[in-house]
Chains A and B, each alone.
Chain A
Amino acid sequence: MTVLMPTQKTAANASVSTPSPQNPLAFRCRNLSVELGSGTARRRIIEGLSFDVPKGQFVCILGESGVGKTTLLRVFGGLASASGGSIELDGAPVIGPPKAAVFVFQNYAASLLPWRTALRNVEIGLEASLSKAERRERALAALRQVNLGERVNDYPRQMSGGMQQRVQIARALAVGPQLLLMDEPFGALDAMTRESLQVELRRLQKVTGATIIFITHDVDESVFLADRLVVLKGKPASIGLDLLSSLPDERDQIKTKETPAYLELRHTLYEMLRGKGASA
């Protein structure tokens, strides 16, 4: 089996305005392998995956459905364990869910607490560490950041899907994470809502300086969002392509998507996903 070696700058005009490589590492994994199932049904999902992320980088991980993207993200976030290799966040090995990392789950309806208002949902991660007044203030600020300042006392069932997902993002931001792990967070939303949330997420990342690892199977979404694009490929999966985005930091849903750089990245990724780039 031949798999493209993890390389950066594969695209012709890559790396214009991404975080400099001297940035301290936020996240590092070496020779990671993951197995799922037990007994004879035990399968190796991921093999020999090595991957460093500098602080403040927005990484999109792409791959076909079933390739192991969600599993990989759960391992990164300590919700599942690796069967081999090492993962470090800020130099400390990841054993359980690390303090500095927070998940944003795909299924917002199942991940918000339906018996709590938006505000109280955002407070859930702050209740062990902050006084009532402090956490209220932090939660309100986080909800304002995602433009939900007017809806803080609504219950999730009174909100649209896009609003619910914004509550989940506010809940994650409220704890001040260094690393956001996002598992296809916009996958279940309609195209319009998805695009506006993409713009919001880019803006929030610039404001907070958080490192983001974002899983998606949507090529356009990944090209629009990412500072860096990683394609998972193969069975068991490893990195098939790893390139820095050539797009400017400021992105616009219409203009950016008309630029040659955008179209070229999109082309490269589609070819990779269709199997021209590497054998599967």
Chain B
Amino acid sequence: MSRPERKGGLAFLPTSINWLGLALVVGCVTLWEIASRTLGSEFTTLASLSETVSALIQLAVTGPLLEQLFHTLNVALSGWIIACVIGLALGIAVGMSRTVWTYTMASIDVLRSIPSISLVSIALMLFGFSPKMEMVIVVYVSQWPMLLATIGGIRATSPDLIDVSRTFHLSRPALLFKIIVPSALPNILVGMRLSLSLAIALAVVAEMVGNPAGLGFGLVFSQQAIQPAQAFAYLLVIGLVGWSLNAVFVAVVRHGFDGYGPIV
């Protein structure tokens, strides 16, 4: 066993604390507090750490923060899952069939090059200020990394493994699910991780611009109401959401795909 210490229970948690990394975080936070106090006369809208934290507590206890957090998490995660399913299914179709690949690859290359933010205006025109618009944006944008990673992974299946499937007379479905998809899995997991970050980012953007709900709306509302402490509190929560979802994903992958060795 190459990693015996990573077995069972909560063993996927870090085994030691990175004190140097932590020191930098503490240093930056301290600098922020000092800067907000000394530059306060020039930047009246720069909230200090202490103001941010008290705004955060107030928003969480009496304000709409938890509801907004739940909304954003809900949209980002369900949109991400839908995007993964769509990206995987389309990726398998494009990756497995020469014909489908020939027909679609030019369109895929053009469509994925459109910067995702610019699609928010189009979605807004089509669906109005609505949850539907937010979901469409999240799904559409975050399925691209999944689609491309799946296509790449499937087309990179080694011809040696195809020979193995032929000498052992695997059926077409067995070839797909026992050889090709597992061999593409490291690529697919990287695609899922990129999609997850995009899903969170696009949910927030859609909320800022189009759908009056969630953390993105809370952020832009605080900004327009000139409530810097609240805006910083939202920023902090959004950052924590992105960081923790990614950390959970990495931990699950490390724990669940032992045979592959290190993937993410």
A111 to B258, CA, bound (A): 19
Q: Which of B152-171 contact A (CB under 8 A)?
A: 158, 160-161, 163-164, 166-171
In the complex formed, the residue of A with least CB distance to B261 is: A157
Within 8 Å of chain B (Cβ to Cβ): is A27? no
Chain A CB within 10 Å, residue with most, of B160, B167, B179, B183: B167
Are A96 and B259 within 8 A (Cβ)?
no
Are A115 and B260 within 8 A (Cβ)?
yes
Name the B residues within 8 Å of A134 (CB-CB): none
Are B257 and A115 within 8 A (Cβ)?
yes
Stretch from A43-51, A123-131, A241-249 forming part of the interface with B? A123-131
Within 8 Å of chain B (Cβ to Cβ): is A204? no
Are B259 and A116 within 8 A (Cβ)?
yes
Are A115 and B185 within 8 A (Cβ)?
yes
A interface, size bucket: 20 to 34
Chain A CB within 10 Å, residue with most, of B1, B158, B164, B179: B164
**A102-B168, A124-B168 given; A79·B163 CB < 8 A:** yes
Min C-beta distance of B5 to chain A, whole Å = 15
Name the A residues within 8 Å of B37 (CB-CB): none
Are A110 and B160 within 8 A (Cβ)?
yes
DSSP majority for the A interface?
loop
In the complex formed, the residue of A with least CB distance to B164 is: A111
Interface string of A189-210 (1 = CB under 8 A from B): 0000000000000000000000
Nearest 7 Cβ contacts at the A-B interface? A125-B168, A110-B160, A103-B167, A115-B259, A155-B259, A115-B182, A97-B166
Residues on B close to A: CB < 8 A? 1-2, 158, 160-161, 163-164, 166-171, 174, 178-179, 182-183, 185, 257-261
Instruction: Sample 22 A-B pairs with CB under 8 A, ordered by A number.
Output: A79-B163, A79-B167, A96-B166, A97-B167, A99-B169, A102-B167, A105-B163, A110-B161, A111-B161, A111-B164, A113-B161, A113-B164, A113-B183, A115-B182, A115-B183, A117-B259, A124-B164, A124-B168, A124-B170, A127-B178, A128-B170, A157-B261
Residues on A close to B: CB < 8 A? 77-79, 96-97, 99, 101-103, 105, 107, 110-111, 113-117, 124-125, 127-128, 155, 157-158, 175
